[in-house]
Chains A and B, each alone.
Chain A
Amino acid sequence: MADRRRINGPVGATTPPIFDKPAGPAAAKTRDAIRKIFLKTGITPSASGSAYLELENPNPQRPGNTSLKLSCTVHGPRSLPRSAPFSPHIILTTHVKYAPFATRQRRGYLRDSSERDLGVHLETALRGAIIADRWPKSGVDIIVTVVEGDQDRDSPRAKKDDEGWDMMNVLSGCITVASAAIADAGIDCVDTVAGGVAALVCKDDKTAPTIVMDPVVAEHGSILAACCVAYLPTRDEITNMWFKGRLPGADMMVYDKLMEKSLVACRCANRVIVQELNETVKKGQGIS
C-alpha cells in the first residue's frame, strides 16, 4: 500500500542511473590523522540546541567538495505527557534519519532498520554523558538528520558488504554533533562525549593489514574490522563501543590497538567540540 500522505511518483519502478563505464579509481591518500571537522552550533534557532557537522573530503574531485554532513537538533528538556509513567530521570529519545539524497541509493522517508540501529547506538553513547537525575519527569528529543552520508559518489567498488562500514563513520559523527548540540541546549553533562572510528584495513590479500583512524571506505582495498567508540576524555570513560568485522586470529593485540587508535580519534574530535563551544561562549559574552 502506497503512502498516501506523500507524493510517491510513478507507479512503475524507477532505477538510478547506470553508467556505461566504471569511474576511475579514487586517489588513495594515506593520512595518520582524522579528517578535518567543521562544527557549528546554533544553526536552528527554534530548537533548544542545535549543531551542524561537516567533514572535509580528502580527495576532492570538485571544489568545495565535502563528505558527511550532519545536522542535529535538541528539543527539551520538557515535561513528559500526562499519560507517561513517572520517571526519576530524563528520558532520552534519539532519531537518526538519512535524507533521501544522502546516499548512493535513494532513501525512503520511513526509517529503516539501519537508521534505528544508529539511533540506539547514539542513545547509549549519550546516556552515559548526560546527568539524567537532574531532570526527573522530563524528556529530551535528539534528532540527527544525515544530509549527506559518508559515501563516495564515484566509488569504483559498490560492493554490498561496503554498506556497513560507512555507518561507523556516520555514527561517530552523530555522537560528536549530538554532544555539541546537547551542550548548546544547556543540558548538564559530565563531559563532552565524542565519537571516533578506527579500522583494520589492507590494500589487497598479499599486504599486511594496517590500522587507520577515520577510514574513508573508498580509499582502502578492503576493510577487515572497524571499531566505533564514544569516549569521555576528561573522565577517561567509554560510553558506547561498536565493533564489527573479523580479526586475524593470530594477533591478540590487534583488538587493543584498534581500540587505542579509535580513542585517539575521539580525543581529536573532542578538541573540535571544545573549541567550538568556547567560541560560542565568547561570542555570547561579547554581545551582552
Chain B
Amino acid sequence: MHMHKFEKIWLIFGFGALLVFLTVIGVSAFYLGNQPPSCLATIDPEKVDTTAPFNEPGLKKVEGKEWDYELVFVASAFSYSPARVEVPLGAKVKVIATSKDVMHGFQAAGTNVNMMLEPGYISEVVTTFKNPGEFLIVCNEYCGVGHHMMHSMIEVVE
C-alpha cells in the first residue's frame, strides 16, 4: 500500500508527539508517583458511620507517616461531613473520603484534588495546601435533586 512521503513525515511527527506525551505522563505516574486517585480499599456502605476512620470525620494530626494530617470526609445526599474545615498552610494532607449512598464527586475547586466517591469504596488523595484562602468543595457527579446544593469548604490558614 502506497503512502505519500508527506503523509509519512506527518504520521512520524504525530506518532513522535504521542510518544513524548506518553513518556511524560508515564514518568510522572510511575517514577514520580503522580498516579490518579485509585485506592483499592473497600468498606460496607451501610456501616460507614461506625467504621474507622469515618466514625470521626474531620482533620487529624498523624505521626510517622509520609503526610502530616489526615482529612476524613463522609459524603451523603446532599452534604459532606465536615461542612467546613480549617487546614494549616503548607500541611501535607491525605484526604480520605467515601459515600454512604450513591455516587458523589469530590472536587476542591482551584486545587488538583478531584476524585469520584463510590459506595463501597474508599477514595484517597495526598496533597499539600500551598496557598492560603478558601477552597470550595463541590459534588461534581450527579446524585439527585439536591446535587447542586452539596458542598463543603476547606479554609487554608496560616
**Are A and B bound to each other?**
no
